[in-house]
Amino acid sequence: MSSPGSSFVQIKHEDLLFYENCGGGSFGSVYRAFWVSQDKEVAVKKLLKIDKEAEILSVLSHKNIIQFYGAVLESPNYGIVTEFASGGSLYEYLSSEHSEEMDMKQIMTWALQIAKGMHYLHAEAPVKVIHRDLKSRNVVITADKVLKICDFGASKFLSHTTHMTVVGTFPWMAPEVIQSLPVSETCDTYSYGVVLWEMLTREVPFKGFEGLQVAWLVVEKQERLTIPTSCPASFAELMKKCWQADPKERPQFKQVLVTLETMANDSRLPDQCNSFLHNKDQWRCEIESTLERLRKLERELYSKEKELEERERRLKLWEERLMERSNMTPSPTPLLMERPSHGVRSELGVRESRSDLGMIVQGVRGDLSESISQKIRGEVGVIGHSGMQVSMRASSNQNSVKSCSVRHGTKINMAAAALDMMELDCKTLRNPKKRPNYINI
């Protein structure tokens, strides 16, 4: 925004009486407070600075979007002031015993309210807004049980940019958001599907997994939340559409609303949905079974990485010993002992060069040369039990050969192109009869 406070009400810090901390939002903590001059209970999100969130909120007005009152612009007490939702967050409600009373009517009502709020952001607001952090913690419940979407700290005006940095919470994030790829409105559709799953199952998505573990599972393994087999088909189909890997295959919220309206008019759905909700003990084991399978997959990957790290350590040790026994020292100077080309022997008779595909040892006769050439030439691929391919390439600038793998959505350097090099018989260098003959260069 061009000038702070030009588009919204400025509220004095002294005009606010703060009570307890009622949660944390993107980049700030949220407090219940009392706006003295207006005789009104409010929520105040404390910030280090006033940024785009206030600008975004100032142009929004919808019954399912949290109402913005103004901002505190006095350093260091920056803050955003909104209406206070006394019912807490949807996440808190779903974690409470009260959620056991939920029926199909309430789920359908709330699913429609969230979808209407998101449709407003994407298609009806003065400027299109991508929320990017839609989750049950960012949906609050008012005293009259109306859901409102809040916390726009991770949001963007669609007209500003479509390339996003990693923001949000991994279990709710679309694959393209996790990877910091260009995004569209349908990244919010993916998150909506997760919230719908939460309301139907009253479970925590990817419970027990850390954020980067979830990122790896969603992006690399194409895993999605488990939909119990007894879940009503119409709900299951909607969630699957929301979780399509290709953003273009996901429905816009206009389509989501049409689907929900059709479902609301299905006379058979209430009985199916209520039966599903009240028989959680029968299908919860399906979710637990999937979580256990994913935990096993994660353990196998971790074990494979440890194995590769150990092989890298052993490879470095082997290289050091090979250099010592060959009277070679690791230094930036060329290993070839240059001599004029008039019959003078090379004291080493060895030249080592590396490329991006392997190491070529030239000027060496005998078993050692052939063994090294066979061991190192080319590119080595290792397939772990997890099904992930680990590409092994030699490095042009290092003495050891590194590789890359993806774990938890991040690149991890791992060992070594020549994993079989450890089998090389270094006794060749110690056996005078097998030492390579010197050659003229």
Where in the sequence numbering do the catalytic residues fall?
133
Contact between 87 and 142 (Cβ < 8 Å):
yes
Q: What is the 3-state secondary structure (H, E, C) of 37-81?
A: HHCEEEEEEECCCCCHHHHHHHCCCCCCECCEEEEECCCCCCEEE
Task: Determine if residue 8 is left, alpha or beta; phi over 0 gives left, psi from -120 to 50 gives alpha, anything else beta.
Answer: beta
Q: Which value, to the nearest 10 degrees, does the dihedral of the CA atoms of residues 10, 13, 19, 22 take?
A: 50
Instruction: Give me the helices (H) in 209-347, please.
Output: 211-219, 233-242, 253-264, 269-278, 280-325
d(CA 106, CA 102): 6
Contact between 119 and 175 (Cβ < 8 Å):
no
Alpha carbon separation from 75 to 43, 72, 157 (Å, rounded) = 19, 9, 26
List all residues 6 or more positions away from 313 whose beta carbon is below 8 Å from its beta carbon: 415
d(CA 229, CA 414): 40
d(CA 238, CA 261): 12
Tokens of 175: 């694959």
